[in-house]
Chains A and B, each alone.
Chain A
Amino acid sequence: MAAAIEVLNVTKKFPSQKGASGFKEWLVRLPKNALKPNPYFTALDSVSYSVQKGECVGIIGKNGAGKSTMLSLLLGTSHPTQGEIKVEGKRTPLLELGAGFHPDLTGLENIYLNAVLLGLTRKQVTARLDQMIAFSEIEEFINQPVRTYSSGMYIRLAFSIAIHTDPEILLIDEIMAVGDESFQKKSGKALTDLIQSGVTTVFVSHNLSAVRQICNRSIWLDHGKIRMEGSPETVTQAYLDDSKPKASQEA
């Protein structure tokens, strides 16, 4: 099997003084900056691993352990400070559903824009339009601007677009709870089908039982480093054992 994702010694640092950027501040700080480097926060610290084609890897860890940073690096919306990431295949994010939607465009216009952003041509979108709309269950509102949608409709439409774009590598950030209960079942099944059909998946979650159910392998991130890597059962168990005593201390 070939590797779909290879992460080699990746470090990602963020400048600590995020946002304090005006041209004046920059000029004022220039003499100081020349002498000492900016303070930074290390989100990921020399992380290496690879994901084989068709594998489903679950990344777990506490808040702020670097999981979301890892996903945005894999997606390519952010670049590593050091190290290298090789990704073989089309990346489909299921991160913040509906992030690419524009509230003033209609559902239909947003379908075209988002599906093309996710790698289809307009012709392909037209061919799959009925499927996408049917799956999202918002037939009668499809010509309304999405700002009039409920949050559930918004997410259902975004999810439906994403899974109908022939994903090769799925990058999932905690979205098992999509819409109401019946839609949750439907979306969960659609995802499991995709994963079982051989789509490479990286799955970031706090839901340990979901990780155990669908993943072949699990990685535990802790303070930007890989703490443990192995079968989902062992890793999630070790993670649970580690967080339990601390939890009782805090209580």
Chain B
Amino acid sequence: MAFSHNFQRRLDLIILLTQKEFALKYKRTFLGIFWSILNPILLAVVFFAAFKVFMRFQINNYTFFLLSALFPWSWFSSSILISARSMVDNISLIKKVIFPRHYLVVSVIIAQLVHLVFAIPILLFFSYKDGTGPSMLWFVAIPILIGVQFIFTLGLCLMVSILNTYFRDIEYLVSVVMNLLFWMTPITYPISSIPPQFHFLLVINPLTGLMSAWRDLFQNNHFLWKETSISAVMAFLFLGAGIVVFKKMERRMDEVL
């Protein structure tokens, strides 16, 4: 009884914090929740113009190619950028109320996940048009990929959010690093366009495997088990590191906020 009450309460807390994250984002906007659908579409138009119209990349079906990795990437990058401020922006909650502080980060990642879910129909449309999918594989692969990416993102977000309470420089650093990481990950270009001497950069970047797996699933209806497994192992390592750093620094957070 006490256990189930506690569980229910924790679940409710995460739901409410996520709702808050979501509700606040679109408070006082005219289009409200439609921004969640409009945003990825507008993003796609921008990249289509940049690469197809101005730079004329020679890749077939470039829009679909780009979007199949860009949408999962957006989930990752917006989660990191927003959670960098999730402790700092909730000072009053942290100082005056007791609750598991990592829920703040979890709720940010879930709220951002909703945007990815909204974007999946767009990918579904493209893959239907191409005649490659969708298939039953999607129902297995998408939850797995979401799970792996969630774990990886959570590990990083925990670190970034708690470090930013000690050094506010982190949030500025993060936005630069995210930009660098975006161009280092094969999202706008295929892996094959990277010279062999730089391949090590792709291997040490856990996002490469993950983004390739997303793309391969949507474009070729094929699941990259090996890449996903390697990313999963790395994701758990990042989560472990994130938890250690978070637990250690959380204890003295009240002295710096």
Contacts and interface: CB of A to CB of B under 8 A. Distances in A.
Interface of A: 14-15, 18-19, 21-24, 26, 72, 75-79, 91, 93, 95-96, 99-100, 102, 104-105, 109, 112-113, 116-123
Given A15-B255, A96-B92, A121-B5, 14 more contacts: A21-B167, A23-B167, A23-B170, A24-B169, A76-B98, A79-B252, A93-B96, A95-B96, A102-B24, A117-B13, A117-B99, A118-B97, A122-B12, A122-B15
Interface of B: 5, 8-9, 12-13, 15-17, 19-20, 23-24, 27-28, 92-99, 166-170, 173, 251-252, 254-256
A2 to B, nearest CB: 17
A92 B13 CA distance: 16
Given A113-B20, A121-B5, A77 B94 contact: yes
Nearest to B19: A109
Q: Indicate the member of A18, A24, A100, A121 with the most B CB atoms within 10 Å.
A: A121
Nearest to A26: B167
Given A21-B166, A23-B169, A116 B97 contact: no
24 contacts: A14-B255, A21-B166, A21-B167, A21-B256, A22-B168, A22-B169, A75-B98, A77-B97, A78-B255, A93-B96, A99-B92, A99-B95, A100-B92, A100-B93, A102-B20, A105-B20, A105-B23, A109-B19, A113-B16, A113-B17, A113-B20, A117-B93, A121-B5, A122-B12
Contacts of A14: 255
Contacts of A75: 96, 98
B256 A18 contact: yes
B17 to A, nearest CB: 8
Contacts of B8: 121, 123
A99 to B, nearest CB: 4
